[in-house]
Structure formats: structure tokens, C-alpha cells
């Protein structure tokens, strides 16, 4: 469906409501009232409240994810450099989530921790689904160039993205800076060993 002004009004309304309420307590009628339209207009654009939330997640991360996906086409840049750039997009997406997340998602220790987990699931599903094809393609190109030695590029892409997504948003499993650093170094070590690259080859990824 074409993303009209009303489409974005609906997303804006939900985003504003999420600043002060949890998703479970927000009704479609409330979203319609906030958007300044009838409830029927909401259902013209979206089949459910859940679909509105999905669209809001998608809109909030659209720019960094589009940047990441374009990297798969830039074959004049080395695969590892593009992986680093994609990881930075992963961080940017996490920053967008934290900026737009509701009060529950900013405090997982609160009584709304289940709410936080639900919002995070939306975020992680979208981000991993969107970034996985791009990272898989970059890994495949590295394999073709002989720079990466691995026979399951899609699996490797998913593993990397899951680790980075969870650690970089640092909300689902809150960690200290030292714990995050240790996890990233562990990931780099596994990537070097798993792709047949000498120790220290991917140290530049810590510049993220």
C-alpha cells in the first residue's frame, strides 16, 4: 500500500503514545483519536495494532538499514571493510531503537519488562531479517575472492547479527562496557578462526 500522509499520521500517533504508555494498554481507537481520524481509517491502512507497530519499527530503522543493504553492491570495497560498515549500521539501528523506544524499553528492570521484551522482539526480528541477506551476500563475495573460508555464509551472517543486535542495544541482556567489549573480542576471534584469517586480521572491527 502507498505510504500516504495518513499512513504516517497513524505511525506518528502510535509513536507519541508509546512515549507514555505500554503497547498493551494502547487501543486502535486511541491511536485513531491521536491521529485525528476515524477507527475505520486505521483499518484501511493496517489490519491490526500489531501491524502498526511493525510498520513503526520499519520506519524508524529505514535509513541505516538501507545504507547497510547497499553495501552488498559495492564490490570495489573489500568484504571485511563492508562488514565493518554493516556492523556500524547495526549500531546505528540500535541507537534508533533506544531513541524511539517507549519508557518500558528504556528500563527492563521495571514492572514492564515483559513489554520491553515484546518491543525488542519486534526490533530484533526486523533488523536481523533486513540485514541478513546483505551480510550473507558480502560473505559469499569474500568466499569467491578467497578472503573468507566458510561453507555456511547465511548461518554465519545470522550468528553475527544476533550477537551484535543483542549486545549493541544492551537492553535485553544488560552488560557492562567491559562485558560488551569481551563479547565483541570473542566474536572477532571466532570470525578469524572460522573464516581462515590470521589472528588480528579483524581487530579493526573494535573501532565500531
DSSP states of 133-190: HHHHHHHHHHHHHTS---S-HHHHHHHHHHHHHHHHH-SSS---HHHHHHHHHHHHHH
C-alpha cell at position 19? 512515549
Closest-CA residue to 188 (of 83, 117, 48): 83
Task: Determine the average pLDDT of the residues in 182-206.
Answer: 81
Lookup result for grid cell 567489549? 181
C-alpha closest to that of 54 among 101, 147, 122: 122
At residue 47 the predicted structure's pLDDT band, cuts being 50, 70 and 90, is: very high
More confident residue, 33 or 71: 33
pLDDT at 109: 42
Predicted TM-score (pTM) of the model is 0.76
Q: What percent of the chain has pLDDT over 70?
A: 83
Cell of 12: 506518528
Residue 38 region by backbone torsions, left for phi larger than 0, else alpha for psi between -120 and 50, else beta: beta
Amino acid at each position: 500500500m502507498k505510504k500516504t500522509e495518513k499512513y504516517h499520521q497513524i505511525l506518528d500517533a502510535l509513536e507519541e503514545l508509546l512515549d507514555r504508555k505500554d503497547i498493551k494498554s494502547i487501543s486502535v481507537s486511541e491511536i485513531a483519536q491521536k491521529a485525528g481520524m476515524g477507527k475505520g481509517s486505521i483499518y484501511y491502512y493496517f489490519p491490526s495494532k500489531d501491524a502498526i507497530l511493525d510498520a513503526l519499527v520499519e520506519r524508524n530503522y529505514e535509513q541505516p538499514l538501507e545504507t547497510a543493504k547497499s553495501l552488498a553492491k559495492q564490490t570495489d570495497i573489500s568484504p571485511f571493510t563492508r562488514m565493518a560498515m554493516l556492523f556500524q549500521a547495526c549500531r546505528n539501528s540500535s541507537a534508533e531503537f533506544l531513541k524511539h523506544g517507549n519508557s518500558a524499553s528504556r528500563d527492563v528492570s521495571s514492572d514492564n519488562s515483559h513489554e520491553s521484551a515484546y518491543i525488542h522482539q519486534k526490533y530484533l526480528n526486523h533488523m536481523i531479517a533486513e540485514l541478513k541477506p546483505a551480510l550473507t551476500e558480502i560473505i559469499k563475495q569474500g568466499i569467491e575472492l578467497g578472503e573468507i573460508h566458510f561453507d555456511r555464509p547465511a548461518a554465519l551472517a545470522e550468528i553475527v547479527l544476533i550477537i551484535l543486535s543483542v549486545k549493541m542495544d544492551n537492553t535485553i541482556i544488560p552488560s557492562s562496557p567491559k562485558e560488551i567489549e569481551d563479547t565483541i573480542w570473542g566474536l572477532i576471534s571466532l570470525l578469524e578462526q572460522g573464516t581462515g584469517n590470521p589472528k588480528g586480521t579483524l581487530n579493526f572491527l573494535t573501532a565500531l
